[in-house]
Structure 1
Amino acid sequence: MDSTYSKVKTGIPGLDSVISGGMKSGRAVTVSGPPGSGKTTFGLQYLYSGATDFDEPGVYITMAQNIEEVKNDCKSYGWDFDNLISQDKILMIDARPFKIHDDTIGKDDSLYRGEQLPFEHLTKLLLSSIKRIEAKRIVIDSITILAMQYHDKFYMRQGLQGMLQALENFGVTSLLLSEYSENDEIPLEWFVTSGIIQLRHTRVEDTMERTIQILKMRGIKHSEQIHPINLDSDGLHLLHPRLMP
């Protein structure tokens, strides 16, 4: 079923073994989970591994955190993003609508002007970034923030599908980080991306346990088990993954 497609390794120990060796090249996958489940770490580990282990430059675009804060957090895992940025192997873009400059709060109009199709602006930004460093990997953190601007789900879906089609045409393999908890309505990005990876961070007695489950990976044989994961000094790891035959 999946032997005719080239695959992209995530670089997350244990994960590729449960998705038949990797994700489909040139497709988009949603990584969903509640706060603290490891979504941002997952996305950054995917980009860092791509740039350092597989010679695949990547673009990280954030709509929630300060870039310097993100890079400092990564140092705790031993990931030097500044070095990769200086080599044009990684591009990190701050696309938050509001930023603080000289103790004042200013609105960044590059993406947010109250228009009906903010996905158009994000798509243009992504495509110019891909061309700049010949990127092969993209992480959007998070797609939920952009989706919140849409009151009409039809326009939201059209905008999202248009963006994904543009990214596929450029041959990049994308991760869309998505904020989702079990009681939430199923997010629209689940329906339009090729894969869904769900992260959970749940309380078990007096401890918190992290797990991962592959809900969908279109065209690729994958495990349907809920796998425990660890988040330690060098990133995320699947514990005792069951290898795909």
Structure 2
Amino acid sequence: MSTTYTKVKTGIPGLDSIISGGLKQGRSIVVSGPPGSGKTTLGLQFLYKGAKDFDEPGVYITLSQNINEIKNDCKMYGWDFDDLVSKDKILMIDARPFKISEESIGKDDSLYRGEQMPFEHLTKLILSSIKRIEAKRIVIDSITILEMQYDDEFYTRQGLQGLVQALENYGVTSILLSEIVEDNKIPPEWFVSSGVIQLRHSRKQDTMERSLQVTKLRGVRHSDQIHPIELSEDGLHIMHPRLTP
């Protein structure tokens, strides 16, 4: 297996060491997990560290949460997204299908335009955002919101394939967040992406334990083990697997 590819450091302590020093540049990686497993934190940490420490501008697309809420949540880790946004190092885009305005909820047709699966519109929005700040990193949170609009898995997979192909053609390294609820169902984004990282959480006595496992990473040597996640004051830390007697 070749190791001569350009590596993109995630900036997440402990993660790069289990993926041969970094992600493969220009590839799309799915990060899947249930609610509360740390998906959004991982995606935002990837963008923040990329812009701040590695001079790699990034675009964050939210399909589920208010941008101001996201930025306020990030302050608990010491991440000042407003500063990076003002310097055109980060672009944060609210692409939610529904917006709350004046105590009412209405459909936002600026992106969706009445279509069930607006992959084409979303792709155009992302590509124009890439050009605007010369982005090197992209995070979409979450791709599941788009998939839920279609019953036919063929059309879902076709739309995902076009989105992933467009991103990889532009050479940006992308993280697509994916919500997993059913353990026995493999989501379509796993098939079209270059890599899959699974996040999990479980209850142990009175605490929640989070963990990470790299399930697939094409062309990159990686650990197959389940690694505990520690959530500290500066974000996620990926730990060595615990040794059991």
Shorter-chain TM band: over 0.9
Q: CA–CA distance in 2 between the matches of 1:100 and 1:116?
A: 20
State the match for 2:140 in structure 1.
140
Deviation at 1:241, TM superposition (A): 6.4
Q: CA–CA distance in 2 between the matches of 1:171 and 1:100?
A: 35
Deviation at 1:147, TM superposition (A): 0.7
Contact 2:225 2:241 in 1 (8 A): no
Q: CA–CA distance in 1 between the matches of 2:85 and 2:171?
A: 21
Moved more, 153-162 or 83-92: 153-162
State the match for 2:212 in structure 1.
212
Residue-by-residue CA offset, 1:65-108 (whole Å, 9 max, x unaligned):
00000000000000000000000000000011111222232321
State the match for 2:57 in structure 1.
57
Contact 2:29 2:175 in 1 (8 A): yes
Moved more, 207-216 or 110-119: 110-119
State the match for 1:173 in structure 2.
173
What SS class does the counterpart of residue 2 from structure 2 fall into? Answer: coil
Contact 2:60 2:140 in 1 (8 A): yes
Q: CA–CA distance in 2 between the matches of 1:116 and 1:233?
A: 40
Counterparts of 1:178-197 in structure 2, within 5 Å, are 178-181=178-181, 183-197=183-197
Deviation at 1:184, TM superposition (A): 4.8
Answering whether residue 19 of structure 2 is matched by residue 19 of structure 1, we say yes
State the match for 2:71 in structure 1.
71
Q: CA–CA distance in 2 between the matches of 1:119 and 1:78?
A: 34
Q: Percent identity?
A: 76
Contact 1:14 1:241 in 2 (8 A): no
Counterpart code for 1:80: D
Q: CA–CA distance in 2 between the matches of 1:59 and 1:184?
A: 32
Report how many aligned residue pairs link the two structures.
242
What SS class does the counterpart of residue 82 from structure 1 fall into? Answer: helix
Counterpart code for 2:13: P
Ranges in structure 1 where 5+ consecutive residues have no aligned partner: none
Q: CA–CA distance in 1 between the matches of 2:73 and 2:184?
A: 28
Residue-by-residue CA offset, 1:113-171 (whole Å, 9 max, x unaligned):
34254100110000010000000000000000001111211111111111111111111
State the match for 1:228 in structure 2.
228
Q: CA–CA distance in 1 between the matches of 2:20 and 2:222?
A: 6
Counterpart code for 1:238: I
Answering whether residue 137 of structure 2 is matched by residue 129 of structure 1, we say no
State the match for 1:28 in structure 2.
28
Answering whether residue 100 of structure 2 is matched by residue 100 of structure 1, we say yes
Contact 1:71 1:81 in 2 (8 A): yes
Deviation at 1:208, TM superposition (A): 1.2
> What is the RMSD computed on CA atoms of the aligned residues?
1.4
Q: CA–CA distance in 2 between the matches of 1:14 and 1:27?
A: 20
Q: CA–CA distance in 2 between the matches of 1:183 and 1:200?
A: 11
Contact 1:31 1:197 in 2 (8 A): yes
Counterpart code for 2:26: G
Counterpart code for 1:176: L
Q: CA–CA distance in 1 between the matches of 2:101 and 2:149?
A: 24
Deviation at 1:206, TM superposition (A): 3.0
TM-score between both structures, scaled by the size of structure 2: 0.95
Contact 2:226 2:241 in 1 (8 A): no
Deviation at 1:239, TM superposition (A): 1.6
